[in-house]
Amino acid sequence: MYRLDLKIRLYNGADIAMGPGKAELLEAIQQHGSISAAARALGMSYRRAWLLVETMNRSFKQPLVSTLAGGKQGGGTQLTALGVQVLRRYRALCAQAMAAAQDGADELSELLADTLSG
């Protein structure tokens, strides 16, 4: 049994504006409501997560992530409308690419040797 894995990265100049790791981070921010909680859930440092958010925010016409000021209720982070749209379109593009590549991968996989167990 073979496995096909495609990784799509969208560059803006030298920066990776969107890719699999950034999409996972956006989903985690959406789920947890904070960069720090999202970073913990993904096993990355807060600094790394913040740098990824900064790259995404400067790579698009408008920020994908906005932070909410603290207070009695505490602060938080959420995806902007553009952030939700970019995430949705990126996931759709990945699904389209996987579907398009599947037939060719099936044909190529017929030439693979039997899986070695070890």
> What is the residue extent of each domain of the chain?
10-109
What confidence score (pLDDT) does residue 44 get? 97
CB distance 50 to 34 below 8 Å: no
Sign of CA dihedral 14, 62, 40, 68: positive
Name the DSSP letter for residue 50. Answer: H
Structural domain 10-109, CATH architecture: Orthogonal Bundle (1.10)
Four-residue CA torsion sign, 45, 51, 52, 53: positive
Task: Quote the pLDDT of residue 69.
Answer: 73
- Tokens standing for residue 111: 């030439």
**Quick one: pLDDT at residue 70?**
66
pLDDT given at position 73:
61
Predicted local confidence at residue 76, as pLDDT: 86
Query: What residues of the chain score a pLDDT lower than 70?
Result: 70-74, 116-118
pLDDT of residue 117: 61
pLDDT of residue 47: 97
pTM for the whole thing? 0.86
pLDDT of residue 72: 60
Query: What pLDDT does 97 receive?
Result: 95
